[in-house]
Amino acid sequence: MKVLRPISILTGWLMLTANATAQVSLAPPNAADKPAVTAKETAKENVKDKPKAKPHILARKPAATPKPVETPAATVTAAPSTDDPNVDLVYGAYQRGQYKTAFDLASKRAQEKSDPKAMTMLGELYSNALGVKRDYAKAVEWYKRSADAGDREAMFALAMLRLAGRGGPVDREEGAKLLASSAKLGEPKAAYNLALLYIDGQTLPQDLRRAAELLRIAADAGNAEAQYALATFYKEGNGVAKDMEKAVRLLQAASLADNVDAEVEYAIALYNGTGTPRNEAAAVSLLSKAARQDSPIAQNRLAHVLVSGAGAPMDKIEGFKWHLVAKTAGRGDPELDAQFAQLSPENRAKAEAAAKKWLGAK
C-alpha cells in the first residue's frame, strides 16, 4: 500500500497583481523544501511504497512565487443594497455585459447624485477597459471619490492599484491602509490581501497570528484562496495551533470551489485518512480532476497511483501518459523514468502518443 505523506509547505510570499481586481494565491510560510520547485502551488509530499519498496518523492506545486488567481473583471460582487431602480439599472447593465450602457448610466448618477456605487462602477470600467479605453488615472480618481464616501469595494480596488503602481506611483503604505479600512468594513478580498502583507513582512511587520485572523475572515466569507491558505496554517501550526481536522475541512471547502492546490492537498488527506476518513477512490478522483486542470503535481502523483495500481486499477499506459505530461511542465521523476524505460517499445509508443494527444488538445 502506498502512502501519500506530506513533507512540508514552502514559504509563500506576496505577489500583488497588476489587475486591481485580482486576488493573490498564497501558500503560507514554512520550513524550506527539498527538491527544486517553482511558483504558486504549495507543498511537497512523498509517495511511499510497501515497506520493501523504495519511496517515491512527489512534489506538490510550490508556493514561492504565487500565481494570481483571476476574479471576474470587477470587484463589484453584489447588487447594490438600495431600492433606487436607477442604481439597479447600472448594475444590471454591467452584469449583462452592456458596459457602455453601464458607463453612461453610472456617469449620470455619479455626476448628478454623487453616488458611491456609481463611482466604483466607473473605476471598474476604466480599470478593466470595459466599454471605455483603459485609463488607470481616471480609475484611481473615481475609486478615490467612492472610497472617501465609504465604499469598501472602492477602497479595496484603489488599494490594489496603489500597491501595483497603476494610475500613479507605487504607494504600499497607502495601499495597506486602504486594505485595512476595507477589511474593517467587511470586504473579504481586502482581508485576504491584507493577510498577505502581514505574511510578507515588508510593507507591514510580519505577524502570522494577525494574518491567520484575517484569513479566517476571508475564509468564512467563502474566499477559496483564503480557505486554502488558512488550511496550510492549521496544517503547519503557523499563527494558529496545529489542527489537521480544521485544515482538512478548509481544504475540502476550497476544493469544492475548484482551487486546484486544495484539490491536491485534500486528495492526499483522503488517500492517507489524515484528519478525515480514508477514501482512496475519492482521492484518486480529485487527483484526476486536478491533473486535467493542468496541475503538474497532480499529474505526477496520479501517474504513480496508476503505474503502481495503489488506490486505483493499474493502467500503465495512462499512468505514464500523465508522467510524460507532467515532465513537460518541469515535474520530472527519475523513478518513473526508470520504470518507463522498462516498458515494451509498443507500450512506450502508446504512452507517448497519449501524452502528445493530451498536450496537443490544450
What is the domain count for the chain?
Answer: 2
Are 219 and 283 part of one and the same domain? no
Are 89 and 216 part of one and the same domain? yes
Are 209 and 116 part of one and the same domain? yes
Which pLDDT value is given to residue 78?
A: 39
Are 126 and 219 part of one and the same domain? yes
In a domain, 196, yes or no: yes
Which pLDDT value is given to residue 84?
A: 56
Q: Which residues contact 161 (CB under 8 A, 6 or more apart)?
A: 20, 127, 136, 139, 140, 143, 167, 168
Taking alpha carbons only, the member of 259, 280, 254 closest to residue 269 is 280
Which pLDDT value is given to residue 202?
A: 94
Taking alpha carbons only, the member of 333, 312, 311, 313 closest to residue 322 is 333
In a domain, 140, yes or no: yes
In a domain, 22, yes or no: no
Structural domain boundaries enclosing 284: 279-362
Q: What are the counts of helices (DSSP H) followed by strands (DSSP E) for the chain? A: 16, 5
Are 219 and 286 part of one and the same domain? no
In a domain, 94, yes or no: yes
Q: Is-above-0.95 flag for pTM?
A: no
Which pLDDT value is given to residue 88?
A: 78
CA distance 217 to 220: 5
CA distance 184 to 149: 15
Q: Which residues contact 52 (CB under 8 A, 6 or more apart)?
A: none
Q: Which residues contact 95 (CB under 8 A, 6 or more apart)?
A: none
In a domain, 185, yes or no: yes
**For every one of its 362 residues, what pLDDT tens digit does the chain have, with 9 covering 90 and above?**
444 434 233 333 333 333 333 332 222 333 333 322 222 333 333 333 332 333 222 233 333 333 333 333 334 443 444 455 555 799 999 999 999 999 999 999 999 999 999 999 999 999 999 999 999 999 999 999 999 999 999 999 999 999 999 999 999 999 999 999 999 999 999 999 999 999 999 999 999 999 999 999 999 999 999 999 999 999 999 999 999 999 999 999 999 999 999 999 999 999 999 999 999 999 999 999 999 999 999 999 999 999 999 999 999 999 999 999 999 999 999 999 999 999 999 999 999 999 999 999 76
Which pLDDT value is given to residue 250?
A: 98
Are 201 and 89 part of one and the same domain? yes
Are 205 and 285 part of one and the same domain? no
